[in-house]
Amino acid sequence: MKKQKFSVAHARFVKKYRLQKAITLTTQILILVAFILAWELLTKHEIISSFFFSSPSKIANTIKELYNSGELFYNSIITLRETLIGFAIATGIGFLVAFVLWYNNFLRRVAEPYIVVLNSLPKIALGPIIIIWFGAGSKAIIFMCILIVIIVTILNILNSFISCDKQLIAVAKSLGANKLQTFFKLVLPSSVKDIVATLKINVGLSWIGSIMGEYMTSKAGLGYLLKYGGQVMNLNLVMTSTVLLCIMASLMYLLVALFEKLMNKIYK
């Protein structure tokens, strides 16, 4: 491509655009810093109770202690593992089920009321049943995570498959395409955006699932630390676990966002 020559006005425009971006970022960082500073100062002078609100320095200390005792990675990895397995299985199976329901109209009609009921059911209500079936431990937690993620996945992805442009499908039909061809050449590529959006939702949901599972039954993990900290009124531990969760969930979200960028490049 030829390099375009730009006018002075363009340079002004770019400058303004960059300035706006910089101001936004600076403001965001300032808010975070101000929040942490205020938190630290207010609790240091006991204007608000450091027992009930913990404090950034206490959280840092707790992280250090957890690190030294080896509990930091031990617990984080247990929860991360449950979340990732739940996320992967639920997304994978959810996708497959959505595909089958798209492929077979009869099955879709039959399954519809069941999916609606399962979607509105608060999955935590199944807690006792899950523990009885899978025992108290990782399996039960992962199953809870899957239950929470899978229904939404099926609904979102199926919806996206069904809403594929009817006119494009008419073209495929006029060419005598079979259903599998229609799926792989039209439906799937035009659903990429929705699928990635579903992945983003699933990141949040799978953390909800694993933490809820750990509340329900666990001997380790961040959810366990949260519950334990709450029971013994150790707010430092509670806050620390929350911060760790925040960090890990954001990292996972970032990964999906990167994947989205890549997909957008291919399927613009």
Partner 1 sequence: MNLVEIENLNLFYQSVKSETQALMDVNLSIQPFEFVSIVGPSGCGKTTILSLIAGLISPTTGVVKVKDETPNPKKDICGYMFQRDNLLPWRNIEKNIYFGLEIKHKKSNENKEYARELAIKYGLGEFLKKHPHELSGGMRQRVSLIRTLALKPELLLLDEPFSALDYQTRLTLCDDILHIIKSEKKTAILVTHDIQEAISMSDRIIVLSARPGTVKAVHKLNFDKALTPFERRNTTKAKKLFDVIWQEIQNEKAKI
Q: Are 73 and 221 in contact (CB under 8 A)?
A: no
CA distance 40 to 55: 5
Q: Which residues within the stretch 44-103 sit at the binding site for partner 1 (CB under 8 A)?
A: none
Q: Check residue 268 for interaction with partner 1 (CB under 8 A).
A: yes
CA distance 215 to 234: 16
CA distance 7 to 195: 41
Q: How far is the CB of 60 from partner 1 (least distance, A)?
A: 48
Report how many residues bind partner 1 under the rule CB under 8 A. Answer: 20
CA distance 183 to 176: 13
Q: Check residue 171 for interaction with partner 1 (CB under 8 A).
A: yes
- x-or-dash pattern for partner 1, window 228-267, by CB under 8 A? --------------------------------------xx
Q: How far is the CB of 266 from partner 1 (least distance, A)?
A: 7
Q: Are 209 and 144 in contact (CB under 8 A)?
A: yes
Q: Check residue 8 for interaction with partner 1 (CB under 8 A).
A: no
Q: How far is the CB of 168 from partner 1 (least distance, A)?
A: 6
Name which of 111, 109, 191 is nearest 151 in CA terms.
Answer: 111
Q: Check residue 168 for interaction with partner 1 (CB under 8 A).
A: yes
Length of the chain (residues): 268
Q: How far is the CB of 73 from partner 1 (least distance, A)?
A: 42
Residues lying near partner 1 in the complex (CB under 8 A) are found at 165, 167-168, 170-177, 181, 185-186, 189-190, 192, 266-268
